[in-house]
Structure 1
């Protein structure tokens, strides 16, 4: 059995978040580490996300399962699940290095969206300009509606040579096809709570923190505030409905069912790709 991270107590977590200031918010990234225990099952590993129980902190009991016969009936329509070891994206990771992407796509235009729940505003910039000037840590004082975020809105003709090297999760829901959304974001950035159809999210570089609620438990949040501000100002004071949480690292894939509320927080400069099923 291999331990991927260390359990963090809720008391210590709340203390650190409450003590954050604009100049010290990066300490958040050292505090947020969810313990995940994984067990190999025929060279594949799976961890089921568990919700909080009352005032209990992170649960340490993650059930290993054999996904091949059980994914559809047990997870596809009812609960998120972390998949690990289902595909080897080593080549795709190499192609997603900063130097490789700048060499291949530096002069291409990319479309950025605001990092709020509804993402109405779109801005087109050269990819090199985005990397050099806009790929920065999230400011605690900036609204999500004023933060530009590179995720989705990809030109599939221009990015085809990259996407054709990605090995997507093999499990599809009946009568659906997958559509890719590729992104790169700085530490502290993310998208506040929203929901859409089912899909997968894989981290290629960095770490991405997820907060999830089932469809019938809408979280309390402001659609124009950043996830970082929610973590600092709202998360420590949640008394009852705690989110389901996890941190996804390179080689790990999170499956999220239809209409599940979720917010994301990039703990590092992160490269990631989602497969939306529709």
Structure 2
């Protein structure tokens, strides 16, 4: 489920999970058990990439993972389980499937969402926590930055339509469809870790899978 906290904060799919205390790594959110890809096939770059080089190599043609380009330490301090519950616990969260074909909405208090609804993903249905994610879709170009946890990405260029069912979870697709794909038909893929930023160009197909319960920020351009 995607969750929206009104009126102040957007909570992307599966980005929080209860933890025992906030002095543990990960801000008090617990790690999951979903595996990373055997080999990252998305190009990586660092803060040395100039604006002109970014436009030339990536902006209109291919995704890239950027490391060391932001300092999100202040935001990380605000996104621990303890801080978020203290600030937003009583406020309503709007839950919806992160799927273009389904628009059912359910409102619950953020505290209830964290305490009772976040759990490892059932491959048969959309949900929250480790193993959750967004099925394949496309839109304008954008950036996604991980604050806590790990987020696995699968990407296809606009001219390669991925084979997937619109109501199938990303975890189910990974378990059932992905192993049947010949190497030439597999997507670009990589796991994004805290402090890394993924850029994807316009109309690129992409699906996501939260390996842990993760906190992340997505920004869409255009």
Once the two structures are superposed, residues 150-171 of structure 1 have per-residue CA deviations (whole angstroms, 9 ceiling, x without a partner) of xxxxxxxxxxxxxxxxxxxxxx
Correspondence 1:26-37 to 2 at 5 A: 29-30=34-35, 32-35=36-39
How much does 1:127 deviate? 0.8
Scaled by the length of structure 1, what TM-score is found? 0.64
Q: Is the 8 A contact 2:45 2:64 kept in 1?
A: no
Give the number of the structure with larger relative contact order, counting CA–CA contacts within 8 Å between residues 6 or more apart: 2
Of 76, 83, 88, which residue of structure 1 is paired with 2:71? 88
Residue of structure 1 in register with 2:42 after alignment: 49
Please say if 1:113 is aligned against 2:106: no
Question: Quick check: 1:85–1:251 contact (8 Å CA) kept in 2?
Answer: yes
Cα shift readout 1:92-119 (whole Å, capped 9, x = no counterpart): 0110000000000001112111143434
| Pick aligned residue for 1:257 from 192, 201, 206 | 201
Residue 127 (structure 1) aligns with: 110
Could you tell me whether the CA contact under 8 Å between 2:135 and 2:207 is conserved in 1? Answer: yes
The Cα RMSD (Å) is: 1.9
User: What are the equivalent positions in structure 2 for 1:157-196 lying under 5 Å apart?
Assistant: 185-196=128-139
Gaps of 5+ in 2: 1-31
Work out the CA distance in 2 between the residues paired with 1:241 and 1:214: 11
Q: 2:154 aligns with which of 195, 211, 215?
A: 211
* Contact 1:195–1:261 (CA under 8 A) maintained in structure 2: yes
Retained in 2: the 8 A contact 1:117–1:193?
no
Q: TM-score, normalised by structure 2?
A: 0.79
CA shift, 1:67, in A, is 3.1
* 1:254 aligned counterpart, secondary structure: strand
The residue number in structure 2 matching 1:244 is 188
User: Aligned partners of 1:33, 1:205: CA distance in 2, in Å?
Assistant: 19
Alpha-carbon distance in 2 for matches of 1:34, 1:250: 19
Task: Determine which structure has more spread, i.e. the larger CA radius of gyration.
Answer: 1
Q: Deviations over 1:174-218 (max 9, x none)?
A: xxxxxxxxxxx4100001100111110011100000000000100
* Unmatched tracts of structure 1, length 5 or more: 1-25, 37-47, 51-61, 148-184
1:232 aligns with 2:215: no
Residue 84 of structure 1 and its aligned partner are, at CA, apart by 1.0
8 Å contact 2:119–2:130 — kept in the other structure? yes
Question: Residues 119 and 92 of structure 1: is their aligned pair in 2 closer, same or farther, counting only changes over 3 Å?
Answer: farther
> Contact (CA 8 Å) 1:115, 1:226: kept in 2 or not?
no
Q: How many residues align?
A: 189
